[in-house]
Amino acid sequence: MNSSICRTALYMPAVNTRALAKGPGLSADAIVIDLEDSVAAEAKPQARQNAIDALMHNDYGYRLRVLRLNNVSSEWFEADFALLRQVKPDAVLLPKVESAQTIQHVQALLDQVDQSGQVKIWAMLETLQAVVNAASIAQSSEQCHRFETVCIGNNDLAREADMRVTSDRSLLIPWLMTLLAAAKAYHLTILDGVYNDFADLDGFSVECAQGASMGMSGKTLIHPSQIDIANQAYSPTADDINQAQKVVDAFANAADPEVGVLQIDGRMVERLHLDMAYKTLNIAARIKGRS
């Protein structure tokens, strides 16, 4: 089970050295150094060298260092994976994962180069086949201990389905919820897809609120201007924290230590709410510890 907090994961093209240099100073929870979609074929060798330099020489502090590789079936995967003999990111992000076999295959490869188990697996679910196989992909985490995080590729999903995506994502939501249910059933972190119009911060804020309400763990980003909004949307509010503390205190001070239900401020609160309260306080404490 993934114990890391990841509300925000910012994609950075590995060809953009100026952007890579800024990564350690940004307030995203994860920096994703991208060797895939944002890098043209002829630029991939230089991108790999830039990724090595960034991962070896930058101090990212609490930020997760994630390396997005090219597809396992691509001509570039072998050279991308070879980087892991030199550098050990916190995770590798695999694009276009469509089956549990891909997770199992990469787990076996990682076991050969990283006996410590440090390098985790993140999976991009961005095809129709991934939606169909979401449950089996997520279930592979029971055997593949490195598999911790699912990232939604909403743009590719919509493109593959010839879907017209509206501002409320109403047509896409059934698929998003399918991916979310699979991830949550197997205790995986799940990050909502990117919002393309990074100049539209109001629209981005609405989509963050929607994703948080759906139960997403956080959001993938394409621009630093999106970080603060997403961090706030996926963090407990002051009221959330106060209410959680009230629930914890009420059960701690109950006359019967085994009581299953209490009345707090005119509402019935069960032990499942106590578990939720502990989770809220734990997340808030870890976020506070980073500031």
User: DSSP of 144-204, one letter per residue?
Assistant: -TTEEEEEE-HHHHHHHTT----TT-TTTHHHHHHHHHHHHHTT-EEEEPP-S-TT-HHHH
Asked if the model's pLDDT at residue 58 lies above 80, the reply is yes
Token couple for 26: 């940004």
- pLDDT in the model for residue 289: 78
**Do strands 261-264 and 267-270 pair parallel, antiparallel, or not at all (unpaired)?**
antiparallel
- Percent of the chain as helix, strand, coil, to the nearest 5: 50, 15, 35
Query: ∠ CA(110), CA(191), CA(5), 5° rounding?
Result: 75
- List, in order of start, the domains of the chain with CATH numbers: 8-233 (3.20.20.60), 238-288 (no CATH)
pLDDT confidence band for 286 (50 / 70 / 90): confident
Residues 79, 85, 89, 94: is their CA dihedral positive or negative? Answer: positive
Q: Is the pLDDT of residue 291 over 80?
A: no
pLDDT band at 4 (very low <50, low <70, confident <90, very high): low
pLDDT in tens, 100-148: 999 999 999 999 999 999 999 999 999 999 999 999 999 999 999 999 9
For the chain, the average pLDDT equals 95
Residue 2 pLDDT > 50, yes or no? no
Question: Using alpha carbons only, what angle is made at residue 46 by residues 151 and 121, rounded to the nearest 5 degrees?
Answer: 25
Angle between helix 201-214 and helix 173-185 axes, rounded to 10 deg: 50
Q: Quote the tokens at residue 31.
A: 């920096």
In this model, does residue 85 exceed pLDDT 70? yes
Closest among 81, 92, 93, 98 to 44, alpha carbons compared: 81
C-beta neighbour count of 185 within 10 angstroms: 12
In this structure, what token pair is assigned to residue 22? Answer: 């800024």
How far is Cα 242 from Cα 265, in angstroms, rounded to an integer?
13
E strands, the chain, are 8-13, 30-34, 64-68, 91-94, 120-125, 147-152, 189-192, 218-221, 261-264, 267-270
Q: How far apart are CA 172 and CA 161, in angstroms?
A: 10
Residue whose structure tokens are 């469509």: 98
Please state the rounded mean pLDDT for residues 172-185.
98
H or E element that contains 275 = helix 271-288
pLDDT digits (tens, 9 = 90+) for 213-267: 999 999 999 999 999 999 999 999 999 999 999 999 999 998 888 888 999 998 9
Contacts of 153 (CB under 8 A, 6+ apart): 95, 96, 124, 125, 126, 127, 193
* 289: CB partners within 8 A, 6+ apart: none
Average pLDDT over residues 1-30: 90
Tell me how far apart the alpha carbons of residues 77 and 91 are, in angstroms, rounded to a whole number. 15
